[in-house]
Structures are given as C-alpha cells and as structure tokens.
Chain A
C-alpha cells in the first residue's frame, strides 16, 4: 500500500479521534494482564463501610472532633504545612448542628454544608484542585456564551 495514501487518510480531522480511541483501547487492554495491587496505608482513610450507622448522626462522614474546640485527627500528606489541620473537618454550622441533633441521617447531606471532611480536602489541603476545576467551568462557559451570543455576527 502506498504510504502517501495513509498520510492523507490520517490528515483528516475527523479520522484522528477514531484512531486515537482505537489506540487507547489497545493500551487499556494491557491492564488485564498487569496485577493491580492496593497499598494499605492510604491518605485520608475511610472507616469500615456501614460501621458508623446509628452510632453517630454524621455517619458515614464522622471523623471525630468537636466543633471549634477539638480538631479531628486526619491523615494528610504534609501536616507541617497545615496549621489548622482537622479544624474544618470538625466544624458544623449552628443550623446543621441543630439538624444533626434532630435526625440520625444528617450525614447524607453534611458533605456539602460548610465544614466536614470533604470541605477540608476541597478548600484547604487540596484547594488548588478546586481552583482549577472551577476555572475549567469558567472557561468552558466563556466559550459557550461567546459562541452563543455572537452567532449573528457576520465576517
């Protein structure tokens, strides 16, 4: 086969995603022959699943600590750079504190109120990730709205 024809074929923009997907398919198939191992001593460990149900109203996100008094004990990568480690995890807003006394199911929604383990990770210890994540949304929204609002523009 003529190599010029192959070059011409892969120079079309619409062919490259298909070729890339097929190539990725082959690469990922190697995974089945590579042994997957799991390192036991992970950062930010979770409790055993279902072990906190009905023992704490913040289940399954109860990581210990008392709001504003005692910081929770969490395992981070570099504790020396984090002077307030665990304090955000332990914090609960007054409203959510009141709710958590009323119901044993408050843990299902604590992940997104201010305070809690996920807020500690997302805002503080890995805050740079969240900045980039919202920057991605911001930029894609810019592209979207620019194209949308300038549709009637003529060259």
Chain B
C-alpha cells in the first residue's frame, strides 16, 4: 500500500516511518513541533518564580518558594509533557495520538500534584478522575474508527470519505477530558497560591497545541 500524501492539508515535507506508525511533517505540524520544543527548553532553563503572600489581619508576610526536590520532579514532568506535545504534533496514527494524550494528561497531573497543599491536591485528584473517564471516549472512538474503516493511519483515512461524524465527536470529547480541561485545574492550582510559574504554563501551552492539532486531525480525517 503506497503512502498517501496528497489529501493531507498543507505542504508535505517528509516522513519518518516506524513500521505502521508514520510521523509526518507538514507546515502546521512542523511549526507546532518547534514551538513545543522551544518552550521545553525555556522551562528547562528558567528558575521558578517565588510568591510573597500578605497576611490579612496579621503581621509578617509569607514567602512561598519551590524546594529543590519539588523543583526537580516538577521540571521533569514539565519536560516530559513538552516533549510528548512536540511529538504528538507529528504522529500520523490515531491510536498513537490517543496514547500521547494519555501521557500528557498524566504528566500534567504530576506537575500539579507535587505541591503539598490541600486545594492543589484536590484539583489534581479531580483532574485525574476526568482523565480516567475520558479514556473511554478516546480509545473507544479509535476502536470504532478502526472497525468502520479498517485502518488507524491518518494518511489513509484522509484518502476517502467514510462518514465518521459520531466517532469524531466522541474522539474530540475524549481529547477535551484528557488534556483540554487541564488549564481549568491548573488555574485552580494557581488560585490556591501554588508557586512555580514556568511549569504551570507548560500545561496551558500543551493543552492549547493539542486542541489545535486535534482540530487539524479531525478536519483531515473524513
């Protein structure tokens, strides 16, 4: 079966084959890849921010800082999240993309959960519950697409029209639960005064790029 490169949106620059899973470069995916890698580098090099908390009705201000062990685990999780976001831009397989989303989701949970504060841990827990629920629509939709069309490759799915509206809807809902909802909980964590700016920002960036990439996949697959 020859590789179908004509029906993909944008200019096709090249591909890396790993057996059935082909990573391909178009204008869009290349730009997303470079942005994600650049921000990963920024996260690696930046020191986390510190916060000064005013005490209302009391004397003395409280300094919130990130201790060294906490910095290490949160930076590692942010880097994993960034690298996975970068490669999720390139992948040409629906199930592989779903697994990338699962890794990003669990890395987001790791970034948030290293803070020893009740509100932050609570946010991490409820985010984990949503991520676990949304494996059903995400992997289920990939299986339904496989059953209906006989392939998982985005390049092959782009070739013919298959009438996949319902499957695409639940795939998108799965994406929303797995990473799209992450900024909501990250914002919750920020509201509870958790320090550590670049790591939390990685959640926002990865979720933004993943949403755009999912839209691109959903438009290509038809």
Which residues of A are interface residues toward B (Cβ below 8 A)? 13-14, 16-17, 20-21, 23-24, 27-28, 30-31, 34, 36-39, 41-43, 76-82, 124-129, 132-133, 135-136, 139-140, 142-143, 146-147, 150, 153, 155
Contacts and interface: CB of A to CB of B under 8 A. Distances in A.
23 contacts: A16-B130, A17-B126, A20-B133, A21-B133, A27-B170, A30-B169, A42-B146, A42-B147, A43-B151, A76-B19, A77-B1, A81-B18, A126-B95, A128-B18, A128-B21, A129-B96, A129-B99, A136-B103, A139-B77, A139-B80, A139-B110, A140-B106, A146-B114
B22 A38 contact: no
B166 A31 contact: yes
Contacts of A23: 173
Interface stretch (B28-36, B37-45, B180-188, B203-211): B180-188
B181 A16 contact: yes
Contacts of B84: 132
Interface in B99-147: 99-100, 102-103, 106-107, 109-110, 113-114, 116, 122-123, 126, 129-130, 133-134, 136-137, 144, 146-147
Contacts of B80: 135, 139
Contacts of A39: 147-150
B22 A143 contact: no
Contacts of B188: 13
Contacts of B96: 126, 128-129, 132
Contacts of B123: 13
B60 interface: no
A24 B80 CA distance: 29
B130 A126 contact: no
Contacts of A136: 99, 102-103, 106
Q: Is the interface of B mostly helix, strand, loop or mixed?
A: helix
Given A78-B3, A143-B109, A20 B99 contact: no
A17 B124 CA distance: 12
Given A27-B137, A39-B147, A81-B19, A16 B95 contact: no
A127 B18 contact: yes
Given A27-B173, A136-B103, A20 B20 contact: no
Contacts of A36: 144, 147-148
Nearest to B177: A20
Contacts of B17: 78, 81
Contacts of B122: 13-14
Contacts of A28: 136-137, 170
Given A13-B122, A77-B153, A126-B20, A24 B106 contact: no
Contacts of B77: 139, 142-143
Contact of B19 (A78, A139, A150): A78
B212 interface: no
Given A28-B137, A34-B166, A143-B106, A129 B21 contact: yes
Given A17-B130, A17-B133, A20-B130, A139 B106 contact: yes
